Amino acid sequence: MLSTFNQYIFKKMGWQVDAQVPAELKRCVVIAAPHTSNWDLYYTVTAFSFFGMKFRFTIKKEWMRFPFSIITKPLGGIAIDRSTKASNGERISYVDAMAKLFEENQELIVVITPEGTRSKREQWKTGFYHVAVQAKVPICLGYVDYKTKKAGIGKTIYPSHFETDMKTIMEFYQHITGKFPANFSVDTRYIG
């Protein structure tokens, strides 16, 4: 019911969905960019509801406890538990913890915001790439473009060569406009 209402509002506001949904969308890492506003989550959730697919996003396990879980669970939050020790006695990395989620789930769509903040960041966190490589899943380029009022999946990358793939990803996002354009930058290390 809420999904239908959101879709109605989405369309009424003049938004469209990029319906180029790859088959890989059942098991992949989805980049969510630009991330300049809390509204990005609304448009992302609504766009995915058109596809009839539920995505997940990672969050510290502490945010999955009551009372926060009332909001985080229905939105698709999935806890990352890094307290588990690796064979060398150290905490497992964030990348290893996320790759483990793919081992445990046959169908899993994990949305990641590599900017890590709604403020301008000229260097993205690249963990999303390493998770995809380790889990052997593609990277789908999800976006919310406030200029064209379009949201969805624009392209799919099969990780093969880090530098080349990162350049392709940045080239795609160079043409996407966030709600607050001054707060968005592609990773300048991979431009040109």
Domain coordinates in residue numbering, the chain = 2-190
pLDDT tens-digit map of 65-81: 888 888 878 877 877 76
- Please give the pLDDT value at position 6: 80
Q: CA gyration radius for the chain?
A: 16
CA angle 15, 77, 167 (to 5 degrees): 60
- Please give the pLDDT value at position 83: 67
- Please give the pLDDT value at position 40: 87
pLDDT-flagged residues of the chain (< 50): none
For 143, the 3-state DSSP assignment is strand
Amino acid at 60: K
- Please give the pLDDT value at position 171: 97
CA angle 187, 59, 25 (to 5 degrees): 70
The helix (run of H) or strand (run of E) holding residue 79 is strand 77-80
